[in-house]
């Protein structure tokens, strides 16, 4: 309209005017709502799904509950972040369950199609009487629970041969040092770049293809 009435010069000037923060905020919310609707429709169309929970505290000391969901869509297995919600008060198993169950009821996601839940080993999630697991089992006893897979690997590593265990301990110490501070990670990337390494970030291998490749992975 501006180009027709005033010419291309004024139309180009209009294009470079930045949008207000309210407009950007509104459009981001519209995009987020649309993605959320599409994801929920996919989940509801799946014959089954599994969820993974993680509860952590952000920089403002607010407990944040994250729910990841795995489902089938068009003959493929998809995995997405279902929702993130702040928790007020104590993060008990009942509070976590109420947050998840309220979201499910609001969007008509049925527990009967849930086949598995993965959590960490916190008592609020795995407690057999008042934890999240207990609350879910009351309404969906068929749901399977998995937690703390990495802890089993740590226990198994303690029974390695002394020489191998010594190398593994050194690797763990180095990795923890690099990941402990952002500055350490930045310096590590610079060192990798200067050495001409193929990768410039820390690679965390969780699967060894062959026994002979173990030293290479480490």
Same domain, residue pair 40 and 60: no
Q: Provide mean pLDDT across the span 120-146.
A: 82
Other Cβ atoms less than 10 A from the Cβ of 53: the count is 20
Same domain, residue pair 17 and 50: no
Q: Which of 132, 147, 162 is the last residue of a domain?
A: 147
Q: In 3D, which of 28, 27, 77, 75 has the Cα closest to residue 50?
A: 77
Same domain, residue pair 139 and 51: yes
Same domain, residue pair 77 and 33: no
pLDDT of residue 209: 44
Same domain, residue pair 141 and 77: yes
102, pLDDT greater than 80: yes
21, pLDDT greater than 90: no
Of 25-39, 123-137, 166-180, 189-203, the poorest mean pLDDT is in: 123-137
Domain that holds residue 179: 151-217
Tens of pLDDT along 79-95?
999 999 888 878 888 88
Same domain, residue pair 78 and 130: yes
Tens of pLDDT along 163-193?
888 888 888 888 889 888 888 888 988 998 8
Number of domains in the chain: 3
What length does the chain have?
Answer: 218
Same domain, residue pair 122 and 166: no
pLDDT of residue 150: 63
Distance between CA atoms of 132 and 55, rounded to whole angstroms? Answer: 12
Same domain, residue pair 177 and 133: no
Same domain, residue pair 56 and 139: yes
Same domain, residue pair 72 and 142: yes
Which whole-number Å values give the CA distances from 81 to 43, 67, 103, in the listed order?
A: 12, 6, 13
Same domain, residue pair 81 and 23: no
Q: What is the 3-state secondary structure (H, E, C) of 160-205?
A: CCHHHHHHHHHHHHHHHHHHHCHHHHHHHHHHHHHCCCCCCCCCCC
The larger pLDDT score, comparing residue 209 to residue 91, is at: 91
Handedness of CA 196, 202, 207, 208 (dihedral sign): positive
Tens of pLDDT along 40-77?
999 999 999 999 988 888 877 888 899 999 999 998 99
Same domain, residue pair 77 and 139: yes
117, pLDDT greater than 80: yes
pLDDT of residue 110: 94
Write the CATH number for 50.
3.30.420
């Amino acid at each position: 309209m501006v180009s027709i009435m005033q010419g291309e010069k004024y139309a180009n000037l209009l294009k470079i005017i930045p949008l207000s923060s309210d407009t950007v905020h509104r459009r981001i919310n519209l995009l987020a709502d649309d993605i959320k609707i599409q994801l929920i429709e996919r989940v509801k169309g799946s014959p089954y799904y599994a969820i993974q929970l993680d509860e952590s505290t952000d920089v403002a000391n607010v407990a944040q509950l994250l729910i990841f969901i795995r489902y089938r869509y068009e003959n493929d297995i998809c995995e997405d972040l279902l929702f993130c919600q702040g928790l007020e008060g104590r993060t008990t198993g009942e509070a976590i369950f109420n947050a998840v169950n309220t979201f499910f009821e609001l969007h008509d996601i049925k527990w009967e199609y849930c086949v598995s839940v993965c959590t960490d080993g916190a008592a609020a999630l795995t407690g057999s009487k008042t934890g999240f697991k207990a609350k879910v089992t009351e309404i969906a006893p068929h749901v399977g629970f998995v937690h703390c897979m990495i802890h089993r690997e740590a226990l198994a590593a303690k029974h390695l041969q002394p020489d191998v265990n010594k190398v593994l301990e050194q690797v763990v110490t180095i990795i923890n040092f690099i990941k402990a501070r952002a500055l350490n990670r930045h310096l590590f990337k610079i060192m990798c770049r200067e050495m001409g390494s193929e990768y410039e970030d820390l690679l965390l291998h969780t699967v060894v293809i062959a026994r002979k490749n173990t030293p290479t992975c480490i």
